[in-house]
Amino acid sequence: MSSPRVPLRRALADLPPYVPGARVPVGAAAFKLSSNENPYPPLPSVVSAIADGAVDVNRYPDMYATELTEAIARSLGVDPSTVVAGCGSVAVLGHVLSAVCEPGDEVVLPWRSFEAYPIAISLAGGVGVPVPLADGGRLDLPAMAAAVTDRTKVVLVCTPNNPTGPAVRAAELAAFLDSVPEDVLVVLDEAYVEFVRDPEAADALAAFAGSRRVVVLRTFSKAYGLAGLRVGFAVAPPRLAAGIRAASTPFGVSHLAQLAALASLRSERELMVRVEAIVAERTRLLAGLRAQGWVVPESQANFVWLDLADRTSACASEAARAGVLVRPFAGDGMRVSVGEPEATDLFLQIAARWR
């Protein structure tokens, strides 16, 4: 055909691809530690809720996930008008940016951090301003505050930081909020908050309660084990929440996802027992790596980070051949999710050879 092609947006030409964690090939046997998933299957009560809801998939879901947002609000002690649900927290982030960013607005972000951030910023028409991490894989909040200009609309704060693991501390966040102008939106991404055990970690909900420009992002994908159903949410001041809701994809949270999330909230105490087991396994993995001589950031998430620099890709390939799939970031390092105890044992054997 000789007709001209429809042009794509210029922003797509430079859009970095999102690289998912490696999947276990069909018929192969391996531990999948590449996607920060909960290694436990859903609770029986959650599976029953999904099965019971399957007969209604010919109907559209509740567009605003009303029952779910009300349940989330009760569990967090906030008003339902402040909760906006979406198809995973990354989709909700996209709606947040779409609601506030004009073309060319700057968004300050830590780097390396969640690799979907640059994608979401570009798709919203924004311009990303990456700020390097400090030592130990920590966010450099003073440097991020210094990067704010009169063109900055949003600052993204990932705590605990994916893929390195440390959480922002309360004193750090308080100083940061004091130094950032009041008309700049601060998004606190807490996808891994249930795994945090640092007594000095920041309380994002307290920051939200004390400010009109803080948005908190959370998800059911990690601690609640619903990664395959995609449910996330924002907690935002009512005016901002209304804007985020208006920018959201209609019917973005499926009926089954809403039912599963509701069932998970009802079984939260039982689910948190599993979270404690993952935290204990994280502690064992960190201790084992440090005993081998590795310098590992103090992870508060369900993964650990190894700074392997130029060896990253080769080591990840070796781990895959040995039966452990990890998430390499070429030239930087490797993220290893916390999985079954047998996976920890095997990965420690592999990592010992790299020393």
Model confidence pLDDT, tens digit, residues 118-137 = 999 999 999 999 999 999 99
The predicted structure's pLDDT at residue 57 = 95
Tell me the per-residue pLDDT of 265-323, one tens digit each, with 9 for 90 and over.
999 999 999 999 999 999 999 999 999 999 999 999 999 999 999 999 999 999 999 99
Indicate whether 69 pLDDT > 90: yes
Q: With pLDDT > 70 as the criterion, what percentage of the chain qualifies?
A: 97
Distance from the first to the final alpha carbon of the chain: 57
Estimate the crossing angle of helix 312-322 against helix 341-354, to 10 degrees.
130
**Cβ-Cβ contacts under 8 Å for 263 (sequence gap 6 or more):** 43, 45, 46, 48, 49, 50
pLDDT band at 2 (very low <50, low <70, confident <90, very high): low
Mean pLDDT of all residues in 7-33: 76
pTM, to two decimals? 0.94
What domains lie within the chain, and their CATH numbers?
Answer: 20-36+269-354 (3.90.1150.10), 44-266 (3.40.640.10)
The span from the CA of 138 to the CA of 127, in Å, is: 23
Provide the pLDDT for residue 343: 97
| pLDDT value at residue 11 | 80
Q: pLDDT, tens digit, for every residue of 175-229?
A: 999 999 999 999 999 999 999 999 999 999 999 999 999 999 999 999 999 999 9
Query: Which two structure tokens, joined as six digits, stand for 150?
Result: 């009169």
The alpha helices in the chain, defined as continuous H runs, are 10-13, 44-53, 66-76, 89-100, 116-123, 141-146, 170-179, 204-209, 238-247, 255-266, 268-291, 312-322, 341-354
Q: Hey, what are 145's tokens?
A: 């505050």
CA 62 – CA 43 distance, rounded (Å): 24
